[in-house]
């Protein structure tokens, strides 16, 4: 019985260590990517996809389209095919598809997401870059409020 507990602890410890190493690697990787040559003054979402990527087409693309319509002009959304933009895929260290990259107002990489990324995670990453929506905060705090200009 004790040997099973020890094996379980070793496996959990190994997985935890692997997760911390991966997070550290991603943080160092983000620092090595140079800023975009033409910052837009607003956060950007780069969505790397490919024609052969089923996950991109059926799962990630609808999420990206929803974010583009929801956030509108406050965020620039760019969909990039890796076969037509291999230089950008190399610059942003795209390992797998889909990959999403969140850039801040100065064009610096704020977040890199490898694989399918949930809508809530992307919205949270972009809301940190765009700042809170005051209408949503007011409605959450006290119920619907009409803010006059």
Q: Which residues contact 125 (CB under 8 A, 6 or more apart)?
A: 102, 110, 111, 113
pLDDT (tens digit, 9 = 90+) per residue, 8-24? 999 999 999 998 888 88
Give dist(CA 24, CA 36) in Å, integer. 23
**Beta strands per DSSP E along 5-66:** 44-49
Query: How would residue 122 be classed by pLDDT, with cut points 50, 70 and 90?
Result: very high
Of 105, 38, 51, the C-alpha closest to 74 is 105
Give the per-residue pLDDT at 71.
87
pLDDT (tens digit, 9 = 90+) per residue, 124-148? 998 865 555 444 444 444 444 444 4
Q: What is the value of pTM for the model shown?
A: 0.71
């Amino acid at each position: 019985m004790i040997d099973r507990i020890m094996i379980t602890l070793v496996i959990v410890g190994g997985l935890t260590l692997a997760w911390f190493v991966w997070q550290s690697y991603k943080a160092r990787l983000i620092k090595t990517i140079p800023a975009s040559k033409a910052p837009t003054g607003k956060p950007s979402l780069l969505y790397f996809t490919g024609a052969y990527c089923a996950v991109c087409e059926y799962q990630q693309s609808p999420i990206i389209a929803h974010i583009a319509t929801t956030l509108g002009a406050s965020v620039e959304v760019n969909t990039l095919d890796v076969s037509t933009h291999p230089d950008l895929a190399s610059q942003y260290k795209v390992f797998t598809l889909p990959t999403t990259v969140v850039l801040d107002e100065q064009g610096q990489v704020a977040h890199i997401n490898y694989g399918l990324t949930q809508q809530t995670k992307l919205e949270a990453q972009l809301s940190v870059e765009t700042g809170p929506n005051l209408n949503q905060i007011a409605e959450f705090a006290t119920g619907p409020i009409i803010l006059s200009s």
